[in-house]
Structures are given as C-alpha cells and as structure tokens.
Amino acid sequence: MSQSLRPRRSVLYMPGSNARAQEKAKTLAADGLILDLEDAVAPNAKAEARDIVCRNAAEGGYGKREIIIRVNGLDTPWGREDVIAAAKAGPDAILLPKVESAAQVHELEALMTENGAPESTKIWCMMETPLGILKAEEIAASSPRVDCFVMGTSDLVKDLRAHHTAMRLPVITSLGLCLLAGRAYGLTVLDGVSLDLADEDGFRASCVQGLELGFDGKTLIHPKQLAPTNEVFAPSEEEVEYSRRVIEAFEQAEKEGKGVVLVDGKLVENLHVELAKAKVALAEAIAEMAA
Ligand SMILES: CC(C)(COP(=O)(O)OP(=O)(O)OC[C@H]1O[C@@H](n2cnc3c(N)ncnc32)[C@H](O)[C@@H]1OP(=O)(O)O)[C@@H](O)C(=O)NCCC(=O)NCCSC(=O)C[C@H](O)C(=O)O
Ligand SMILES: [Mg+2]
C-alpha cells in the first residue's frame, strides 16, 4: 500500500480532445482522471486538446477526483508547450510518458517551476520502455515531487516484442521491478490498462492479479471498467472488520506486556498491525471520497 492516503484504485484515461468524455467524467466513480494529450490525441488535434484539458483542469468541477494531465514527451514538438500550459492550470499531477532517466524528471520539474506550477502539483511517471524499467530506482529517487509510477504495458509489450497474455508472464519482471522501486521510495504504483473491453471475466482477473502483485490501483480506458476495479482494490468489509480486531487485540496485548497475540487462531505481530492500520485508513479514505 502506498504512503498516499488518497484512494487511487481506479484512474481513468480520456482523450484530451474528447470534451464530452471530460464532462461525463465529473459524474463517474473514478478516483483519478488522466486527461491525455499524448497517445490518445492525433497530431493535428494536439493544440486544441491542450486548450480543452488545461481549461477543464483550471476550472475544476471534478469533486474529490484527482486530475492528472498526461503531456507529450519533452523531445516531441508539443511537450514543452503542454507542460507550460499544464503548470499554469495547476492539476494534481503532470504525467510524463516514457520516462527513462532522472534527468528527464529534472527537466520537467524545472519547466514546471519556471511556469508557476504549485508545490501541490506532483510528477507522475509512465514506466513503459525497457530502459525506463531498468532505471526505475533512479527515477523513483529523482525528486520529492515524484509521487506515482504508472505502468504503460501497451508500449512495454511492443518494445519487448512480447505478447499480451492473460496472466501477463511476459511483463511480470518489469511490473516487479517498478513495484520494488516504487515501494522503496514510498510511491503509489498503478497497474497498466486492459484493452479488451468485451472480456469482463478476464478484466476482473487482471485486477485481482494486480492487487495480489501489490499495485495500489489500475489505469483504465472505459467507464465500464470502474466498478470492478473499485471493488477489487478496496478492502472488503470482512477485511476491515478483521483489521479493527487485530489493532484492538494487539493494543490489549501490549498493555499486558506481550509482543504477539493470536486473532482467530492466527499469529499477529507488529507488522500485521501496520497492515491492518493501512487497510482501515484506506477504507476510511474511500468512505470520505464517497461522502
Ligand atoms: C475506447 C473508446 C474510444 C470507446 O469510446 P466510445 O465508443 O465512445 O464508448 P462508449 O460508446 O461505450 O461510451 C459510453 C459512454 O462513456 C463515455 N466514455 C467512453 N470512454 C470514456 C472515457 N475514457 N472517459 C470518460 N467517458 C468515457 C462516452 O463518452 C459515452 O458517454 P455518453 O455519450 O454519455 O453515452 C473510449 O472509451 C476511449 O477513448 N477511451 C480512452 C482511450 C485512451 O485514452 N487511450 C490512451 C490511454 S491508454 C495508454 O496510452 C496506456 C499506456 O501509455 C501504455 O502504453 O500502456
Ligand atoms: Mg504508452
């Protein structure tokens, strides 16, 4: 679980050129929204998309949902102008695609600062190229503004010359390396998108796999993916109830001078209490989000 107390179970991409989707997003049960200026926008629509996205981010109206602007890479014809406009709009985060070094993060950060991005605007990094994955630790450690890794499994599968398979064995090493680096530096780590909108069982299975691997949430491409994702990445009522009992039992044990206790026949130590507290905190943050 990330150190962030903001629920990031479901983070939905939408093309920056699609004003209708950005309006609809104000009513959707997404924890975060990625307003995309990169791959979902055709070159001839980039400038208009930038205007739409930055106007929407500045105006708000998205409630407690986090707003993230995905800019084009700084080595493209659009990247710098995207960052300058996004910095002024002040979203919760700017998402940089295809990050491969700390130097790229520093370049983005300098441009954000020069253009008045508030301290609260974080940097999110797309992890989606072989070099980027190999540099995951360097990127995670590059700046306190870096707050989240987002797996870009479509680009990664392409670059690895791998195949999209149900249980994602071809990308498992890459997912694991980013999780290791993200966890080591206290970042949120979000799983990549599932492209097959027709396969509901397969989608749910990939959410469960992502949760079991340790991801905080998943990036999505369509509103129909929100409900199963929110459900899988939220602690269940039973988990929350058990977690509360773990916390209580351990507090009681400590008062009695003991460092371990049995709850429902299972050994509970301090590390289990930490996990239990994180689950309860996440459940409370989710409830607060829905209020
Ligand atoms: C995939 C889509 C093009 C399908 O769109 P559409 O045909 O409009 O779908 P529906 O008719 O089923 O839509 C029903 C209503 O939902 C709204 N809608 C659809 N998608 C979204 C969305 N993403 N966000 C918000 N709202 C959405 C429609 O407007 C309909 O509303 P209404 O008019 O009221 O009925 C489309 O879903 C889409 O464009 N998805 C996002 C694609 C995208 O952003 N791709 C880029 C990011 S993925 C990526 O790049 C990952 C990474 O970099 C990597 O390498 O892995
Ligand atoms: Mg990509």
Q: How far is the CA of 64 from the centre of ligand 1 (A)?
A: 21
Q: How far is the CA of 110 from the centre of ligand 1 (A)?
A: 32
Specify whether the CB–CB gap between 184 and 140 falls below 8 A.
yes
* Residue 145, C-beta contacts closer than 8 angstroms, at least 6 positions apart: 105, 109, 112, 121, 122, 123
Q: Is 40 in the pocket of ligand 1 (CB under 6 A)?
A: yes
Structure tokens at 69: 């602007």
- Domain residue spans in the chain? 3-232, 237-290
Q: Is 7 in the pocket of ligand 1 (CB under 6 A)?
A: no
Portion of the chain with pLDDT greater than 90, in percent = 97
Which atom of ligand 1 approaches the CA of 128 most closely?
55
Q: Is 36 in the pocket of ligand 1 (CB under 6 A)?
A: yes
pLDDT at residue 272 greater than cutoff 70: yes
pLDDT at residue 128 greater than cutoff 60: yes
Give the span between the Cα atoms of 287 and 285, in whole angstroms.
5
Per-residue H/E/C for the chain? CCCCCCCCCEEEEEECCCHHHHHHHHHCCCCEEEEECCCCCCHHHHHHHHHHHHHHHHHCCCCCCEEEEECCCCCCCCHHHHHHHHHHHCCCEEEECCCCCHHHHHHHHHHHHHCCCCCCCEEEEEECCHHHHHCHHHHHCCCCCEEEEEECHHHHHHHHCCCCCCCCHHHHHHHHHHHHHHHHCCCEEEECCCCCCCCHHHHHHHHHHHHHHCCCEEEECCHHHHHHHHHHHCCCHHHHHHHHHHHHHHHHHHHCCCCCEEECCEEECHHHHHHHHHHHHHHHHHHHHHC
pLDDT at residue 1 greater than cutoff 60: no
Q: How far is the CA of 6 from the centre of ligand 1 (A)?
A: 24
Q: What are the pLDDT digits (tens) for 17-30? A: 999 999 999 999 99
pLDDT at residue 2 greater than cutoff 70: no
Q: What is the pLDDT of residue 4?
A: 55
ipTM reported for the complex, 2 dp: 0.98
Q: Which residues of 130-147 are buried (b: 16+ CB within 10 A; e: fewer)?
A: eebbebbbbbbebeebbb
Q: What average pLDDT does the segment 43-48 reach?
A: 98
CATH fold for domain 3-232:
TIM Barrel (3.20.20)
Q: What are the pLDDT digits (tens) for 61-99? A: 999 999 999 999 999 999 999 999 999 999 999 999 999
Residues in the chain: 291
Q: How far is the CA of 58 from the centre of ligand 2 (A)?
A: 25
Q: What average pLDDT does the segment 256-274 reach?
A: 94
Q: What is the pLDDT of residue 5?
A: 84
* Residue 27, C-beta contacts closer than 8 angstroms, at least 6 positions apart: none
Q: What is the pLDDT of residue 233?
A: 98
